[in-house]
Structure 1
Amino acid sequence: MSANPEASTNSSMDGLKWGLVFILLGGAVVGNYMLADLSVALRVAGVIVLIAVALVVAAQTSKGQTAVAFAKESRTEVRKVVWPTRQEAVQTTLIVFAVTAIMALLLWGLDAILVRVVAFITGVGS
């Protein structure tokens, strides 16, 4: 028996909420196909509304509340990031391109040498 009676109530309610979420999402998919004779704009609006309602219901579950809290904390952390200036970003990009080109040339040369060595050892090719 659980020491916290509220935990068992939440888990059973969470199951119902998740069931409702899946029913709403399934209804969005099935409704989109069943109502193919309606205009695309109406069907898109209906799907968006059903997805939004499903997200709101999912946010009411314990997992949903954890995800919302994580998103809020992530947003706070992103605000703390020191983003590079445009000049720093351009310089870093150019350095990456230069190093990539140099490595590509080195690997191409190494490949050419190894192909010739293997051809010499096996006697295949000239």
Structure 2
Amino acid sequence: MRTNTNSEKTKANETLDKIKWTVVVLLVAFMVWGNFYFSEPNPIYQPNIVIRLVAVVAVFALAFVTMLTTEKGKAFIEFAKESRLELRKVVWPTRKETVQTTLLVAVITIVVGSCLWGLDTIFYWIISTLTVLGH
């Protein structure tokens, strides 16, 4: 009696993942093609826009669920859970802090911009008096 080793299971999972990703790509391609094909006026068959929308959403949902069953899809779900957990730890600034910071950035931008404009004007004046631009 033969038992599967870890490497055989890994190869089987990789092969299954490749098949799943192929199915996902084919579903997305079919969704794009179908939406494009049925958007053109066709005297024989013109589906309602609602039917097209439902079909696109259904095929997208099927492709998304298939994607989530792969190893990378499972890693994505884990990443999303961890991100949500980290997002709960964030200390958001109050409205007052946000307004104060925004005003400070605006004032500093105006001051620095004015200083750069003044330096540019001075350098232009100096260069124009030393060259033919001033004559």
TM over 0.5: yes
Residue 70 of structure 1 deviates from its aligned partner by 0.6
Partner of 1:113: 122
Q: Name the structure 2 match of 1:122.
A: 131
Distance 1:121 1:51 in 2: 68
Tell me how large the CA RMSD over aligned residues is.
Answer: 1.7
**2:73 counterpart residue number:** 64
Q: Which secondary structure state, in structure 1, belongs to the residue aligned with residue 12 of structure 2?
A: helix
Task: State the match for 2:42 in structure 1.
Answer: none
Q: Which residue number in structure 2 is paired with residue 33 of structure 1?
A: 36
Q: Which residue of 2 aligns with 1:53?
A: 62
Superposition deviation, residue 125 in structure 1: 4.3
- Percent identical among aligned pairs is 38
Gap regions ≥5 residues in structure 1: none
- Summarize deviations over 1:1-23 as a string: whole Å, max 9, x none: x9622111111111101000111
The equivalent of 2:27 in structure 1 is: 24
- TM-score, length of structure 1 as denominator length: 0.89
2: CA distance between counterparts of 1:118 and 1:49? 68
* 1:79-107: CA deviation from partner (whole Å, max 9, x where unpaired): 01011111111111111111111111112
Is the aligned partner of 1:83 residue 2:86? no
Query: CA–CA distance in 2 between the matches of 1:49 and 1:125?
Result: 71
Deviation string, structure 1 residues 8-66 (Cα, Å, up to 9, x no partner): 11111111010001111111100101222322222122212211211111111111111
Number of paired residues? 125
Q: Answer with 1 or 2: which has the greater Rg.
A: 2
- Unaligned 5+ segments in structure 2 are 40-45
Segments ≥4 residues shifted beyond 3 Å: none
